[in-house]
Amino acid sequence: MILAYEGEFTQEITKSILAMVERNMDSTGEDSSIKRKVFNVMVESLQNIVKHADNNSSKSHSAVFMVGKQKEQYTIISGNPMNNDTIDLVKDKIDKVNELDKDGLKAYYKDIIKNTKISEKGGAGLGFVDMARKSGQKLVYDFQDMGTDKSFFALKSSIERL
Amino acid sequence: MEILNLEGAEDTPKIMLDKANGIFEISGRSLPEDSAEFYQPILDWIEAYGNDHNPSTDFIFKLEYFNTASSKLILDVLSALEDIDGVNIIWYFHEDDEDMEEAGEEFSELVELPFEFKTY
């Protein structure tokens, strides 16, 4: 485990988390290409939480972010509560990304960037596509019912170490 | 025309747009909290420059990293430059950064502008 964080997510906290993990990878002499990929996936994952996490959640429902390092790979996990009515949209997006191979992801990325406007939350709709492209791995997700009209959305990406 | 000069930060790129000295450069890291807001002054500057531009413009991108929201805005910057005659894009990437090289190639396929690729 390199880092585990639970609590409020803002741009300032995003920057701090990025800096901590970068320092960790620098201190272990990680390969620069792997460092860039980990950084890339972390940014999209963290900014997803900042933009989409439900800000009205009580403390016990706050979001989490973790970076783990194993011999063969880095694992980046995010988790945040999500309204049940947005689950299908998110599932469809990730399932579509997971069906595509390298060339398919490239074509999908170009299609979205050409035809999509930035949303009012500031997203380009490219986060999952980019995470899949940079990690080179399928995205793994899970939704756990939280009892009310919310579910806990967990997303895991892995980056292989050379 | 006024110079647009923004110091880079850990989440925003350095911007230097200077018509008189022929310097047009976006460099560093781009992951602002609100990418549309950050890039708006740049898009405004380019629009004004288009009305009274130099005979040729070498526009440099020397980015170490950009997030997906920034990628959309970088395409908007390139699209704005497409409307100006004599623009040449110089896309720098770190010599071992294949992803940044590929990103430049993808942008070059999305706009009608000459791209020159250089490593640093």
The neighbouring-strand residues paired with A73 are A160
Taking an 8 Å cut-off on Cβ atoms, the answer to whether B33 and A123 are in contact is no
Task: Please name the fold of domain B4-119.
Answer: Transcription Regulator spoIIAA (3.30.750)
As a whole-number percent, the residues of chain B with pLDDT over 70 amount to 100
Token digits for A78? Answer: 């995010």
What confidence tens digit (pLDDT) does each residue in B71-101 have? Answer: 999 999 999 999 999 999 999 999 999 999 9
- DSSP-derived 3-state class of residue B24: strand
The chain A residue lying nearest B111, using CA atoms, is A114
In this structure, are residues B13 and B29 in contact, taking their beta carbons and an 8 Å threshold?
yes
CA distance to partner chain A, nearest, from residue B66 (Å) = 8
* Model confidence band, residue B6 (pLDDT cutoffs 50, 70, 90): very high
Mean pLDDT of chain A: 91
- pLDDT(A52) > 90: no
Taking an 8 Å cut-off on Cβ atoms, the answer to whether B72 and A109 are in contact is no
- DSSP-derived 3-state class of residue B32: coil
pLDDT value for A125: 85
Chain B, 13-52: which have a CB under 8 Å from a chain A CB? 31, 33-36
Backbone angles phi, psi at A139, to 5 degrees: -90, 135
pLDDT value for B64: 96
**Count of domains in chain A?**
1
Mean pLDDT of A24-28: 96
Which of A47, A113, A134 is nearest residue B99 as measured by Cβ atoms? A134
Taking an 8 Å cut-off on Cβ atoms, the answer to whether B75 and A113 are in contact is yes
- pLDDT(A54) > 70: no
Residue B98 sits at the chain A interface (C-beta within 8 Å): yes
Chain position carrying tokens 């991108």: B61
pLDDT value for A55: 56
Domains of chain B by residue range: 4-119
CA distance to partner chain A, nearest, from residue B35 (Å) = 7
- pLDDT(A57) > 80: no
What CATH number corresponds to the domain at position A92? 3.30.565.10
Interface test with A, best of B29, B64, B68 (most A CBs within 10 A): B68
> What gap in Å lies between CA A42 and CA A52, rounded to an integer?
15
> What gap in Å lies between CA A78 and CA A64, rounded to an integer?
6
Mean pLDDT of A131-151: 94
- pLDDT(B116) > 70: yes
- pLDDT(A67) > 70: yes
- pLDDT(A58) > 70: no
Which of A32, A106, A124 is nearest residue B68 as measured by Cβ atoms? A124
pLDDT value for A61: 56
Chain position carrying tokens 């880095």: A74
Domain of residue A142: give its range. Answer: 3-160
Token digits for B60? Answer: 């440099």
Backbone angles phi, psi at A72, to 5 degrees: -95, -15
What confidence tens digit (pLDDT) does each residue in B22-38 have? Answer: 999 999 999 999 999 99
Mean pLDDT of A126-142: 96
What ipTM does this complex have? 0.92
